Amino acid sequence: MKDKKYQVLTYLSQQKSWVTAVEISVALSYSVRSVKSYIADLNSAYPDIIASSRNGFLLENFSLASQILNTSPSSIPQNSEGRISYIIKKLIMEGLSYNLDQMAEDLCISPLTLTNEISRLKSKLGEFDLVFKSKNNIGSIEGSEKNKKKLISHLIYEDTKDFCCNLESLQVYLPNLDLKIVKHIITDILLKHQLFIDDFALMNFILHVGITMERSREGASSKESLPENVDDIIAPFILEIMEKMAKEIKQYFNITLTSGDIYDLSLLLMSQVVPENLMDSKKTSLEDVITPEIHELIELIQNKVRNTYRFNLNSQDFILRFALHLRNMLVRLKHNIHLRNPQFLTIKNTCPFIYDVSVFIADIINQREGCILSEDEIAYIALHIGVLIEEQRALMNKVMVLIVCPQYYSIHLNLVKKIGMIFEDDIIIAGVISSSDEIINYKDYQFIISTIPIIPHPSVPLIQIPVQMGNKDIGAITSVIESIKKQQLKMKMENKLKFLFYEDLIFFNQDFPSEKEAITFMADALEQQGFVDADFKESIFERESISSSAYTNIAMPHPFEMCSKQTAIAVSVHPSGINWKNNKVNIIFMLAIQEDDRPIFRDIFDFVTEIISDNRYLHALVSTKSYQEFIDLLVSLV
């Protein structure tokens, strides 16, 4: 199979919805005809791996795609990153003694190119306190076993992150172990001890257990013994659980984990599990599960988020679950345990506002605890914040509905109950009446659901349904609800757009080598126009240092605080894209928000997210060449 087919398969594996051949061709710079040909070849080799319809193409079998991409004979790595990964796998994961001349020959590169790759490899190994050494022209990687395991974990994660680290994709890297049995051992013991672990953490733990078992099988176990104060570091029941897991691993696989292995895995397990009885907020009070330190940290986060973003994190369910998460997170920080989140980019790119709030919270934790949270940890915070924010958003965005249904035995009550259950996240029932004559008594409603004709037609949308509401009627009601919600956002944003953008603050095709030059240029423009103070630029760089503000093809740099003299949005449009850390962005929206305009901050994020979720809209905006053209198109997209 050719590399281009792999690239098409990789692209499809990163999509969550249908994509057209045109969209794939634009993303990968192939012709539409070639894209369709590659997909046909893939389906021929692997029947029904990719579904096709009028909507385009959709990957059907992620597990199979993971195996194809991770085991493919695309033989020889074609870039530096691939070659370094190849060398690490050979020297550590396969434990080979590798002759450097043979290494160059296997990679189809010259000895000089190999020397350059080894130089880059040494830099990579330095991140894990490992070193590359050669003696008699034989290459090896030396360092502690713990650091080698960290490097292997990092390598596997980077290769499998597009598949959310499912068991099948991990299995490719540990072919000598049956990870289904490993998973069964872990989950069975945790269930018996009534411990809860979320799916992401479970995959992470299985990966580390698998790596430890493989290294032990090769005679490279941790030689460290348990520290004397182990009971002060790890709860005794966690050590007991890990010892039970080690005993079953010995029974099933004939692999013996050393006391050092058990200690390392116990530390990781302690930072990821929660007693199941603590997950119920109705039975558990906050004081039962957290220390005063965490209680103070949560109060600090609540106060700062309320002051900065104007919404409350004051929900008992949220506070309890987030407190338990913070407790485990602080354990990970204390013991330098890195927890991967395979959905990091998905969370960041699909929920930019929620992610931004999470970056803000991470900065609070960083300053309070004197640490630096990774973007993976920030994404875990986003999962917690996202649930709460979406609940609040759903309540705010609910549509007021008036139901007209003549009373007949209990039929009308059953219908109202059914409507309420199906659309509980989207509507508030303003009233239930039996005659159209009673409509005049109600004012706060946005559309009407009726089982009888209403004449004359009301000024709001009307859906007439039978008493026995069917799927077609549910679809019609859903369509009206979505239409009303979009109209609400449109009305809200149309007025705001007129005073957010200024002709002197929209730039086209500026030549920025990286995000640093772009931020400097745009912040200086805002300062020259009198919208911000001189320290605005440094505040943006401070925010960027924690996590990039790039979301797929756009960037929205802004400071944590709403510190502008006057609200404005500077824009820079780049059809060819500019480098923004690990992204290539086509549009930059620099947000300068005044304190009094704080409530519109979330609306801006929501609006921009809506635009970038549709490639057609993004492409149209990137194609504009003047202020008026850009603004007219932006307003038309609301």
Residue 98: pLDDT band (50, 70, 90) is confident
Task: Note the pLDDT of residue 231.
Answer: 67
pLDDT at 593 over 70: yes
pLDDT at 120 over 70: yes
Cβ contact 587:554 at 8 Å: yes
Residue 573 phi/psi, 5-degree rounding, is -110, 130
Given phi > 0 = left and psi -120 to 50 = alpha, else beta, which region is 57?
beta
Task: Note the pLDDT of residue 111.
Answer: 84
Task: Note the pLDDT of residue 638.
Answer: 65
The alpha carbon dihedral of 277, 279, 284, 288 has a sign of positive
Q: Choose among 587, 568, 161, 559: nearest CA to 359.
A: 559
* Half-sphere exposure of residue 592: CA atoms within 13 angstroms, side-chain side: 29
Amino acid sitting at position 181 = I
Task: Note the pLDDT of residue 164.
Answer: 46
Task: Note the pLDDT of residue 71.
Answer: 54
Cβ contact 433:483 at 8 Å: no
Instruction: Return the number of other C-beta atoms located less than 10 Å from residue 611's C-beta.
Output: 20
Average pLDDT over residues 193-220: 79
Task: Note the pLDDT of residue 215.
Answer: 78
Average pLDDT over residues 160-172: 60
Q: Which residue has the higher pLDDT, 162 or 184?
A: 184
Residue 580: pLDDT band (50, 70, 90) is very high
pLDDT at 54 over 50: yes
pLDDT at 116 over 80: yes
Task: Note the pLDDT of residue 74.
Answer: 47
Distances (CA, A) of 614 to 8, 28, 330, 558: 20, 17, 39, 23
Q: Which residue has the higher pLDDT, 79 or 355?
A: 355
pLDDT at 115 over 70: yes
pLDDT in tens, 419-478: 988 888 788 888 888 888 888 888 778 899 999 888 888 889 999 998 888 888 998 999
Most confidently modeled range among 166-180, 200-214, 279-293, 335-349: 200-214
Residue 577 phi/psi, 5-degree rounding, is 85, 155
Q: Which residue has the higher pLDDT, 180 or 67?
A: 180
Q: Choose among 583, 523, 529: nearest CA to 557.
A: 523
Omega within 30 of 0 (cis) for the link into 456 = yes
Task: Note the pLDDT of residue 169.
Answer: 64
Amino acid sitting at position 630 = F
Average pLDDT over residues 227-245: 81
Distances (CA, A) of 411 to 214, 407, 427, 469, 489: 64, 7, 21, 11, 36
Query: d(Cα 182, Cα 164) in Å, to the nearest integer?
Result: 18
Cβ contact 564:546 at 8 Å: no
Q: Say if strands 399-404 and 131-135 run parallel, antiparallel, or are unpaired.
A: unpaired
Average pLDDT over residues 484-507: 77
Q: 256-289 as b/e, with b when 16 or more CB fall inside 10 Å?
A: ebbbbbbbbbbbbbbbbbbeeebeeeeebeeeeb
Query: d(Cα 130, Cα 111) in Å, to the nearest integer?
Result: 23
Residue 1: pLDDT band (50, 70, 90) is very low
Task: Tell me the pLDDT of the chain averaged across its residues.
Answer: 81
Domains and CATH numbers, the chain: 3-71 (1.10.10.10), 80-143 (1.10.10.10), 155-276 (1.10.1790), 280-366 (no CATH), 399-469 (3.40.50), 493-637 (3.40.930.10)
Given phi > 0 = left and psi -120 to 50 = alpha, else beta, which region is 504?
alpha
Largest CA distance in the chain: 97
β-strand partners of 557: none
Query: d(Cα 218, Cα 149) in Å, to the nearest integer?
Result: 13
Map residue 213 onto helix, strand or coil: helix
pLDDT in tens, 328-359: 788 788 877 776 766 667 677 767 778 888 89
Query: d(Cα 326, Cα 242) in Å, to the nearest integer?
Result: 23
Task: Note the pLDDT of residue 160.
Answer: 54
Task: Note the pLDDT of residue 342.
Answer: 61
Q: Which residue has the higher pLDDT, 199 or 416?
A: 416
Query: d(Cα 424, Cα 404) in Å, to the nearest integer?
Result: 18
Average pLDDT over residues 32-42: 85
pLDDT in tens, 394-418: 556 688 899 998 876 566 778 888 8
Average pLDDT over residues 259-282: 73
HEC sequence for 609-638: HHHHCCHHHHHHHHCCCCHHHHHHHHHHHC
Distances (CA, A) of 83 to 89, 104, 353: 10, 10, 37
Of 10-19, 165-174, 466-475, which range is least confident? 165-174
Task: Note the pLDDT of residue 73.
Answer: 45
